[in-house]
Amino acid sequence: MGYSGMEERHINPEDMTGLEKTLKKMHGKLAEDMKKLGAELKDTAFGEARDILTQKEDIETLEAEDEMEEKEIHLIEEALQRMAQGTYGICLDCGEKIAIERLKALPYARYCIRCEDAREKRPYKMDGRIPD
């Protein structure tokens, strides 16, 4: 007990309110984007037949975009759920608090920077190479 100097600052209720607002705004924007994407996808898929290959590519691009946004929306919803449950800002991997700077940059972060780093570097460990 009593280690306070080195500890990263964690979120306070004020930060939480701000982050919740940010998350809800992001969610609203993504939902809007997805609606547009859905309409675009329909137009592309059922619109006038052009070059079938181009059409196929367009649909794939739109679908990939749609998938990415869907994933992001899901992450945002999860973050809002964790807020409601009082577990927001806690790393899902190691259970440590996630630094406020990280949450401000990425409000739906699920892992602390150390675990995220470890996750990103994991594949490169296979060949034993030490990243620069």
Q: Which residues contribute to the site for Zn ion (CB under 5 A)?
A: 91, 93-94, 96, 112, 115
- SS3 state at 2: coil
The CB-of-108 to Zn ion minimum distance in angstroms stands at: 15
Q: How far apart are CA 75 and CA 106, in angstroms?
A: 11
The CB-of-115 to Zn ion minimum distance in angstroms stands at: 3
Handedness of CA 27, 28, 31, 34 (dihedral sign): negative
Q: Which is nearer to Zn ion, 76 or 112 (CB)?
A: 112
The CB-of-5 to Zn ion minimum distance in angstroms stands at: 21
Q: Are 95 and 65 spatial neighbours (Cβ–Cβ below 8 Å)?
A: no
Q: Which is nearer to Zn ion, 65 or 96 (CB)?
A: 96
